[in-house]
Amino acid sequence: MILDLSTLHPTWQSALSAELDKPYMQALEAFLVAEEKRTTLLPPYSERFNALKSTPLDKVKVVILGQDPYPTLGHAHGLSFSVLPSVKPLPRSLMNIYKELESDLGINNKHTGYLQPWAEQGVLLLNTVLSVEEGKAGSHQKKGWELFTDAIIKAVNEQVQPIAFVLWGAHAQKKALMIDSTRHLILKSAHPSPLSAAQGFFGSRPFSQINSWLSVQGRDAINWQL
């Protein structure tokens, strides 16, 4: 099995169990089994579903949507934009996220790229693709992961509590059609990549917007300091 539901919080088990028997999931599993025999996949299987393990469905306050894991060995650990504590220098997109965080809230997190504390506060750090071949960015796109993570987004959208969705870049913004904007907050801007951050990501102030909105909704704000 590429996803052992028994390792997830019961809220995710209930929401995702129907996906496991669908043809796309069986095809994805066959692809991954073959690839594991041929090459190195990242992140390791034990960390591939870290976003779901770290943030139970009924505790989600914020979704920050990434694309696929870092293809460098020792970087990805199952949370979008996050790297393991030992990684230096930090990825450039993450450095731009930190630059905006410091401009927005005066918080300097440049000592670490490990975003696990955000996840444990209710920030679902979800990539739309959950695996990649080492050294080959985007190599597992259009293999079935997107259908699975769409099911995750739909499950979050169906939650009663209000949730902030952060959609950086055109790829993530396509998911806005799946989100009920009358109940949830949708924040869109350019991607924090060095190729696009100056085109609307810098100055977008997502972190203060999220916390102000959560407070209005009666939900606890996120402590972005690491």
For Cα atoms 66, 68, 71, give the angle at the middle one, nearest 5 degrees: 130
**How far, CA to CA in Å, does 201 sit from each of 53, 160, 167, 198, 223?**
29, 29, 11, 6, 21
- Give 52: exposed, middle or buried? Use CB within 10 Å, 0-12, 13-18, 19+: buried
Nearest-angstrom CA–CA distance, 84 and 63 = 20
Nearest-angstrom CA–CA distance, 99 and 75 = 20
Active-site option among 58, 68, 180, 220: 68
Question: How many C-beta atoms surround the C-beta of residue 191 within 10 A?
Answer: 22
145: left (phi over 0), alpha (psi -120 to 50) or beta: alpha
Question: How many C-beta atoms surround the C-beta of residue 216 within 10 A?
Answer: 10
For residue 204, give the nearest of 158, 173, 159, 179 by alpha carbon.
Answer: 173
Q: Establish whether 68 is a catalytic residue.
A: yes
Which residues fall within 8 angstroms of residue 131, CB to CB, at 6 or more apart? 32, 41, 42, 43, 48, 68, 69, 140, 145
Catalytic residues: 68
